[in-house]
Amino acid sequence: MTDFLPLFIEQLQSPTLGFLIGGIVVAALGSQLAIPDSIYKFISFFLLMKIGLTGGIAIRNSNFSEIILPALGAVGIGIVIVLISRYTLGKLPGISVPDAVATGGLFGAVSGSTLAAVLPQLDSAKVPYEAWTAALYPFMDIPALVAAIVMASLYIGKKTGKTTEKVEIWPIIKESLQSSAVTAMLLGVALGILTKPEPVYESFFNPLFRGFLAVLMIIMGMEAAQRMNELRKVAQWFAIYAFFAPIVHGFLGFGVGLILHKITGFSIGGSVVLAVIAASSSDISGPPTLRAGIPSANPSAYIGASTAIGTPVAIAICIPLFIGIAETMLGR
């Protein structure tokens, strides 16, 4: 513990976090600063392509079978996160089950920006990890969204007595895979495996990664401050859930990572990536899927909880926390 605290505090001073807080402060002070939406879309595309390329190049140069167990772990975590929301948030007074399950689905789904934030911080802290861990993204993202929509449909079906209606799972999976975030990452993975993108990677995607990430953090911070108003309109339980869920999910992911570490030699750094993927909540690709899949849930509740509190907690607390723990375990 005495080893851990200074490492945690050092992680808190990272520029990534500074840019996030800067964005929150700027928006809270009512600044007219705005990064155009097209720039935001390009930056998201750029970061996820880069993460995908890194993963694809790593998979090309590694043993494909290594990825199977961690991928199964990611699927399990995604489903468990939705179950947790169903039986904690969903049991609280004044919270409807569809709202609880939709929020759990969004917190089980993955944020590309949070994933983009943890990787350079692991590099800076010199904690090694398997580069393909980023490719675990869709293995947690899609099961969480599918589980949330299925659970909400079963609940509504039971309540209204229409138990005959079957939930179509394939359209949910397809929609998730076709979302721009997952497409960009999978395109990067495919190009990394099948072509030799190293000249483009070294001259463009790698050097500009930290800079575009910093700009994205400012955008995420401004977005969080703006969503705070929406969150005020719904029950405060959503805010409490949004604060603690990333930390609980992070420990769940880290625990699964450590079990894999014992069994297969999966790295401690890889466990940090798995923890942060679990801690993150989707801000871009998840909401439209949930809006279509659970139309009775209130978007102000789940989007407000995720964007205003979940993402800042994942970036500002969970990333430093798990890197600090990893450094302590590695005996720094």
Q: Which has the closest alpha carbon to 73: 207, 232, 255?
A: 255
| Smallest gap from residue 83 Cβ to a copy of itself (A) | 29
Handedness of CA 88, 89, 90, 95 (dihedral sign): positive
Q: How far apart are CA 280 and CA 294, in angstroms?
A: 21
Residue for token pair 């495996």: 193
What burial letters (b/e) apply to 223-250, b meaning 16+ CB within 10 Å? bbbebbebbeebbebbbebbeebbbbbb
Contacts for 1 with CB less than 8 Å, ≥ 6 apart:
none
Residues 6+ apart with CB under 8 A from 158: none
What is the closest distance, in whole angstroms, from the C-beta atom of residue 259 to a copy of itself in the complex?
Answer: 33
Work out whether 158 is an interface residue with a copy of itself (CB under 8 A).
no
Q: How many CB atoms lie within 10 A of CB 315?
A: 31
Tokens of 245: 């869920």
Range in contact with a copy of itself (rule: CB under 8 A) among 87-95, 191-199, 245-253, 293-301: 191-199
**Residues 210 to 239: which contact a copy of itself by CB under 8 A?**
210-214, 218
> Which residue's CB is nearer to a copy of itself, number 124 or number 300?
124
Closer Cβ to a copy of itself, 132 or 205, answer by number = 205
Residue 60 interacts with a copy of itself (CB under 8 A): yes or no? no
By CB under 8 A, residue 124 contacts a copy of itself:
yes
Question: What residues from 270 to 329 belong to the interface with a copy of itself (CB under 8 A)?
Answer: none
- Position 8 contacts a copy of itself (CB under 8 A): no
- Our finding on whether 187 is near a copy of itself (CB under 8 A) is yes
Per CB under 8 A, which of residues 37..56 are in contact with a copy of itself? 37-39, 41-42, 45
- Residue 149 half-sphere exposure toward CB, CA atoms < 13 A: 26
Q: Do residues 181 and 48 lie in contact, with contact meaning Cβ atoms separated by under 8 Å? A: yes
Nearer Cβ to a copy of itself, position 59 or 81? 59
Binding site for a copy of itself (CB under 8 A): 13-15, 17-19, 22, 26, 29-39, 41-42, 45, 120, 124, 177-180, 183-184, 187, 190-191, 194-200, 203-205, 207-208, 210-214, 218
